[in-house]
Chain A
Amino acid sequence: MSFKQSTSLKQIQLAHGGGGLEMAKLIRELFFTAFDNPILAAEEDAAVLNLSGPCAFTTDSFTVSPLFFAGGDIGKLAIAGTVNDLAMMGAEPQYLSLALVIEEGFELAKLKTIIQSMAAELAKSGARIVCGDTKVVPKGCADGLFVNTTGVGRVLRPGLSAAKLQPGDAILVSGDIGRHGAAILMAREGLQLESDLISDCASLWQVVEQLLALPFELHAMRDATRGGIAAVLNEWAVRSGVGIALEEARLPISDEVQGLCELYGFEATDLANEGTFVLALPKRDAEGALEVLRRFDGGSKAAIIGEVCEDHAGRVVLTTAWGGRRYLDLPQGELLPRIC
């Protein structure tokens, strides 16, 4: 195959993962252009980084269907997801790796859109992609595109931990909950619903940087991805050996998300978020932190939703607007709509 022929291809071929000319061209023309930086451009076997002091290190693989959804795509998700994992540990996101598993036949135009979306999302935190890997698998062996990102960041605030919650802490959420999970469900074939709902998918470093710059005594932060805030709060309750009391009326939930939950029997607390996080800190700092959260995009609905208590250690208790109480348990199994 001549170089000229390969340039006219509109779909990913097995050759794009073969280590030869096609792969080199894809990497240079698409990836290096989008993620331009001297460490990546050095094309060495490994990136040489300047690290000092405590570092946070995280990895995540992304498989989402559909790849494009209202409010984002798998690329934006992969960058925001890893940036947010670092930010939640009080770390400034610095270096990311990017590994792609692409299915043979995947449209090159879609890949370009996804890569550009990644570059745009990277710019928001200042993190850089400094190494990567591309594999192409035969048609039928993958669902279009799988993405893995790994990230390293400099810890600016050590000690944040799921095990650090203390009775008297306030629990805050940085925005309305469940939008990513609801947007993905709506975008899937079968539901055929119309809505203005968009995913909350976004990098959180900017807002976290502001929180870290102020003298708040932060105990724990966690982006409420799969499993929603229910999963985060249950894990915190168990790890810290405390109870968490939530006020149902204070949970910020958009009408669209609540509508989907009513129709299908889901709970917004179980639905995934990709740009919303939960925060635990002493009550005295809660209002100040809330003010910071509300200043940022997507933060207008930020709220204090509950507090840490000594009762019901290891469990999350939800109090309804009329005083009824029940546990908010971990979500279980696949999210399946109710039968009747």
Chain B
Amino acid sequence: MLELKSLYRVFRDPDTMAALAASIAKDAAHLSEPLNIMEVCGGHTHTIMKYGLPGLLPSNIRFIHGPGCPVCIMPKERIDQAAILAAQPGVILLTLGDMMRVPGSHGSLAQQRAKGLDIRALYDPLDALAIARDNPGKTVIYFAIGFETSTPMTAVLLEQAERLGLDNLLFHINHVLVPPAMDAVMAEPATKVNAFIGPAHVSVIAGADIYRPAADKYHTPVVVSGFEPVDLMESILRLVRQKNDGRSEVEIQYSRAVTAEGNRTAQAKVNQVMEVRDEFRWRGLGPIPKSALKLRDEYQHRDAERVYGERLPIVEIDDHKACQCGDILRGLADPTDCRVFGRGCTPQTPLGSCMVSSEGACNAYYRYSGGPNVL
């Protein structure tokens, strides 16, 4: 086992945290307007809440939670498509983690599994190869989700399936892209966002430069941050300093893993098998042009959307009327603003997927701060 403790201990050091908190307080006193930082990625939201960071910051710095959770932004019709695929004769449906819990029109995939459908959560997408190999008489469909971070794994899985001749492994592609979602957030006239913490895992693959257009167009500083408490505090300090200096640059705080151009090999693998879709409907944000990927024509034999196309409804299905996930994902509301938060909507009985996911903002608020009695 790796000595992981040595890798993260320094990033949770109490003295460093106290020093950063003091520097932020000192510099933030000079801000001409409140700093409303959108942390686009749900992983950052959870770090912020899990480590109690808001309590260390002055009142003119606040977080606005963004749409960067692959589970939260999945519209219901796509989950329904997954359930329909799983119900086809001889199909094994595979997906990742929290996707099992998101409510579709007829319950979650976990509930469909309890009814007898063969739906499995993978630890590693490449486990799909063994499942396809061990079930030659069945059609194995990988319900692929995630941002730029997880897309290369899907591309590698497809490449391996081709190489091994596993013709019974199909894909339902739901991979989405971060920059168009940031544009959608900033296009909202009521947005208060004036700084971004850039999703770091995304940039490990896609590079930090993907945020440069947003920084230029909206005059917002962007800092690509790691996920440890010290990473986030340092990133906040950098944002405060950029704002005080009147700069709107893309800075890489997470330099131990992120470069400006990203992982070119991974990008090439993705480009080889996938291309940008004309449009994809995001939960809460609506249809966003060029915001998602699909399989290229030469891989249509592996595309579950094409193979089972006639059976997959494409009618848009809206969320429960009381659910305010849309406003939360657009950065217009906090989880605690939602009138069903913690009452009609809890992790056990979620109305919306922001309450489901271990990257969802509502889940983070409910779990770590108890909602209305925020610590």
Q: Could you tell me if A340 and B56 are in contact, using CB atoms closer than 8 angstroms?
A: no
13 of the cross-chain contacts (CB-CB < 8 Å) are: A193-B1, A255-B1, A315-B370, A320-B52, A320-B229, A322-B56, A324-B52, A324-B229, A327-B375, A337-B123, A339-B146, A339-B358, A339-B359
Per-residue CB contact flags for chain A residues 88-110 toward chain B (1 = under 8 Å, else 0) read 00000000000000000000000
What's the least CB distance linking B114 to chain A, in Å?
12
In the assembled complex, which residues on chain A have CB atoms less than 8 Å from the CB atom of B146?
339-340
In the assembled complex, which residues on chain B have CB atoms less than 8 Å from the CB atom of A194?
1
Q: Could you tell me if B1 and A327 are in contact, using CB atoms closer than 8 angstroms?
A: no
Q: Could you tell me if B8 and A262 are in contact, using CB atoms closer than 8 angstroms?
A: yes
Task: Name A321's contact: one of B14, B56, B145 (CB within 8 Å).
Answer: B14
In angstroms, Cα B49 to Cα A293, docked, is 34
Task: Name A255's contact: one of B4, B99, B150 (CB within 8 Å).
Answer: B4
What's the least CB distance linking A213 to chain B, in Å?
37
Q: Could you tell me if A256 and B1 are in contact, using CB atoms closer than 8 angstroms?
A: yes
Q: Is A333 an interface residue (CB 8 A)?
A: yes
In angstroms, Cα B53 to Cα A190, docked, is 34
In the assembled complex, which residues on chain B have CB atoms less than 8 Å from the CB atom of A337?
96-97, 123
Task: Name B375's contact: one of A193, A197, A325 (CB within 8 Å).
Answer: A325
Q: Is A329 an interface residue (CB 8 A)?
A: yes
Q: Could you tell me if B147 and A340 are in contact, using CB atoms closer than 8 angstroms?
A: yes
Q: Is A58 an interface residue (CB 8 A)?
A: no
Q: Could you tell me if A339 and B71 are in contact, using CB atoms closer than 8 angstroms?
A: yes
Q: Could you tell me if A339 and B98 are in contact, using CB atoms closer than 8 angstroms?
A: yes
Known contacts A190-B122, A190-B127, A329-B368: does B50 contact A258 (CB below 8 Å)?
Answer: no
Q: Could you tell me if B1 and A329 are in contact, using CB atoms closer than 8 angstroms?
A: no
Q: Could you tell me if B1 and A322 are in contact, using CB atoms closer than 8 angstroms?
A: no
Q: Could you tell me if B2 and A259 are in contact, using CB atoms closer than 8 angstroms?
A: yes
**A265 and chain B: residue at smallest CB distance:** B358
Within 8 A of B (CB), among A255-304: 255-256, 258-259, 262-263, 265
In the assembled complex, which residues on chain B have CB atoms less than 8 Å from the CB atom of A312?
373
In angstroms, Cα B5 to Cα A258, docked, is 8
Q: Could you tell me if B96 and A339 are in contact, using CB atoms closer than 8 angstroms?
A: yes
Q: Is B135 an interface residue (CB 8 A)?
A: no
What's the least CB distance linking A178 to chain B, in Å?
14
**Which residues from chain B sit less than 8 Å from chain A, CB to CB?**
1-5, 8, 12, 14, 17-18, 21, 43, 49-53, 55-56, 70-71, 96-101, 110, 121-124, 127, 145-147, 149-150, 201, 229, 347-348, 358-359, 366-370, 373, 375
What's the least CB distance linking A64 to chain B, in Å?
18
In the assembled complex, which residues on chain B have CB atoms less than 8 Å from the CB atom of A258?
4-5
Beyond A321-B17, A323-B52, A340-B147, 13 additional pairs, beta carbon < 8 A: A322-B21, A324-B51, A325-B55, A325-B375, A327-B369, A329-B366, A329-B370, A334-B100, A336-B97, A338-B98, A339-B98, A340-B70, A340-B150
What's the least CB distance linking B91 to chain A, in Å?
20
Q: Is A191 an interface residue (CB 8 A)?
A: yes
Q: Could you tell me if B4 and A332 are in contact, using CB atoms closer than 8 angstroms?
A: no
Within 8 A of B (CB), among A206-253: none
Q: Could you tell me if B121 and A336 are in contact, using CB atoms closer than 8 angstroms?
A: yes
Known contacts A190-B127, A265-B358: does B5 contact A324 (CB below 8 Å)?
Answer: no
In the assembled complex, which residues on chain A have CB atoms less than 8 Å from the CB atom of B369?
326-327
**A327 and chain B: residue at smallest CB distance:** B370
Residue of A255, A326, A327 ringed by the most chain B CB atoms within 10 A? A326
Known contacts A327-B367, A332-B348, A338-B97: does B5 contact A255 (CB below 8 Å)?
Answer: yes
In the assembled complex, which residues on chain B have CB atoms less than 8 Å from the CB atom of A196?
1
